[in-house]
């Protein structure tokens, strides 16, 4: 295990002005995204779509790393360059999703546990050979009446910690992602309490497994009102609640906190990140993004599966990447949207 390399990779992922593109949708999930633009999910269409994102000229100014799916990390650009090489040639760190998805948790209705630990050591070693220097594992926690259960939080944080230890053994930085879903009628206070509880359990599990925090990136949800709540917190309230939540539960040794967007509109996801970075309070970690939908929605709509729309899709992607890059240093302003 090379601690120095792990630390340098993690710092590079959370470098100011840049953030992570989550382009690791599984084949069923990218199929759902393609359905919205009436595009068939063939292997070639998936490759062409990822190609347009990864070859967008200048994306490396705002994007520090890209999370790929197993199929994508083995694919190549139009000119034959393998995607991981294309990325590292422009100073973007290649990453890989390694979990095998969230499955129903036996005995706990409505809750899930993420699978994929079996054989993970061997898969990580292969991914390292393919160029991956960081990985992602997503756990899913639901807020509801009497949810989440202790069991759900316990098994998911335990799995995240075992995954993280295996990654570091392979010199791969683990992104640990305990996603508390934003769906539901709950208040921002409930989201706050649940997020503090889950993150506290996560860092206890990581400590038990001797995970090197300086070589780890946290990918959390923001603390928001449930999407179906009648009382929606303001951007400032979200920023304040989210940062306070981390001050109470995320050790200062963690170099970067890179948010998921979780179904927020792309502009709101940018505004929230920007407001957090503008808060005048102690923030010992970098606050950045690891967005999927919030970085890709506009690009996907512009593309529509047509080669003739590639340039328009790339410019939509670069625009969102630029706005979010600015938000990582509190430098985003609404006027950027029309610039």
Q: Does 261 bind ligand 13P (CB under 6 A)?
A: yes
- Which residue in the list 97, 112, 136, 219 is annotated as catalytic? 219
The stretch near ligand 13P (CB under 6 A) out of 50-58, 197-205, 226-234, 255-263 is: 255-263
**Residue of 112, 133, 286, 293 that binds ligand 13P (CB under 6 A):** 293
Q: How buried is residue 220: exposed, middle or buried, by Cβ count under 10 Å (0-12/13-18/19+)?
A: buried
The neighbouring-strand residues paired with 176 are 137, 218
Q: Which is nearer to ligand 13P, 97 or 286 (CB)?
A: 97
DSSP three-state, residue 286:
strand
> What is the total count of residues that contact ligand 13P (CB under 6 A)?
10
Q: Does 177 bind ligand 13P (CB under 6 A)?
A: yes
**Residue of 292, 310, 321, 326 that binds ligand 13P (CB under 6 A):** 292
Q: Which is nearer to ligand 13P, 25 or 51 (CB)?
A: 25
- Which residue in the list 177, 179, 240, 271 is annotated as catalytic? 177
CA dihedral 34, 35, 39, 40 (to 10 degrees): 90
* Chain position whose Cβ is nearest to ligand 13P: 292
What stretch of H or E contains 288? strand 286-291
Task: Give CA–CA dist 242/234, Å, rounded.
Answer: 12
**Is 219 one of the catalytic residues?**
yes
The stretch near ligand 13P (CB under 6 A) out of 122-130, 226-234, 256-264, 280-288 is: 256-264
Q: Which is nearer to ligand 13P, 153 or 180 (CB)?
A: 180
Sequential DSSP letters for 98-165: ----EEE-TTSTT-EEE---TTHHHHHHHHHHHT--EEEEEEEE--BTTBS-HHHHHHHHHHHHHHHH
**Residue of 96, 262, 318, 320 that binds ligand 13P (CB under 6 A):** 262
Degrees, nearest 5: CA angle 119-141-9: 55
Q: Which is nearer to ligand 13P, 260 or 300 (CB)?
A: 260
CB 176 within 8 A of CB 135: no
Q: Does 320 bind ligand 13P (CB under 6 A)?
A: no
Give the pairing type, strands 112-114 and 134-141: unpaired
Residues 18-37 that bind ligand 13P (CB under 6 A): 22
The stretch near ligand 13P (CB under 6 A) out of 69-77, 105-113, 243-251, 289-297 is: 289-297
CB 303 within 8 A of CB 272: no
Backbone torsions φ then ψ of 179, nearest 5 degrees: -85, 115
Q: Does 271 bind ligand 13P (CB under 6 A)?
A: no
The stretch near ligand 13P (CB under 6 A) out of 107-115, 116-124, 204-212, 257-265 is: 257-265
Q: How buried is residue 67: exposed, middle or buried, by Cβ count under 10 Å (0-12/13-18/19+)?
A: buried
Phi and psi based region of residue 225 (left: phi greater than 0; alpha: psi -120 to 50; beta: remaining): beta
**Is 43 one of the catalytic residues?**
no
CB of 261 to ligand 13P, least distance (A): 3
Backbone torsions φ then ψ of 69, nearest 5 degrees: -100, 160
The site string for ligand 13P over 91-130 (x = CB under 6 A, - otherwise) reads ----------------------------------------
Q: Does 300 bind ligand 13P (CB under 6 A)?
A: no
Which of 175, 221, 216, 218 minimizes the C-alpha distance to 195?
221
Residues that bind ligand 13P (CB under 6 A): 22, 138, 177, 260-262, 291-294
Residues marked active site are found at 177, 219
């Amino acid at each position: 295990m090379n601690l120095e390399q792990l630390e340098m990779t993690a710092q590079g992922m959370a470098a100011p002005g840049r953030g992570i593109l989550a382009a690791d949708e599984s084949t069923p999930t990218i199929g759902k995204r393609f359905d919205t633009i009436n595009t068939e999910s063939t292997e070639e269409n998936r490759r062409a779509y990822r190609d347009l994102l990864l070859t967008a000229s200048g994306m490396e100014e705002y994007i520090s790393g890209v999370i790929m799916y197993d199929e994508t990390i083995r694919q190549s650009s139009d000119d034959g360059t393998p995607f991981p090489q294309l990325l590292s040639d422009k100073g973007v760190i290649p990453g890989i999703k390694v979990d095998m998805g969230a499955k129903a948790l036996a005995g706990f209705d409505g809750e899930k546990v993420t699978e994929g630990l079996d054989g993970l050591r061997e898969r990580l070693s292969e991914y390292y050979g393919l160029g991956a220097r960081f990985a992602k594992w997503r756990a899913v926690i639901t807020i509801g009446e009497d949810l989440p259960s202790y069991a759900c939080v316990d098994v998911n944080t335990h799995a995240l910690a075992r995954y993280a230890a295996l990654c570091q053994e392979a010199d791969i930085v683990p992104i640990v992602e305990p996603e508390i879903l934003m769906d539901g009628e709950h208040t921002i206070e409930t989201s706050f309490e649940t997020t503090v509880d889950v993150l506290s359990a996560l860092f206890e599990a990581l400590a038990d497994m001797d995970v090197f925090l300086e070589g780890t990136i946290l990918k959390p949800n923001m603390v928001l009102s449930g999407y179906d709540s009648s009382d929606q917190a303001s951007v400032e309230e979200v920023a304040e609640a989210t940062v306070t939540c981390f001050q109470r539960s995320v050790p200062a040794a963690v170099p970067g906190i890179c948010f998921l967007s979780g179904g927020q509109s792309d502009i709101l996801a940018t505004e929230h990140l920007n407001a957090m970075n503008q808060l005048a309070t102690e923030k010992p970690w970098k606050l950045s993004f690891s967005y999927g939908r919030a970085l890709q929605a506009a690009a996907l709509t512009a593309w529509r599966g047509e080669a003739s729309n590639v340039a328009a899709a790339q410019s939509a992607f670069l625009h969102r990447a630029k706005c979010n890059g600015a938000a990582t240093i509190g430098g985003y302003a609404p006027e950027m949207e029309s610039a």
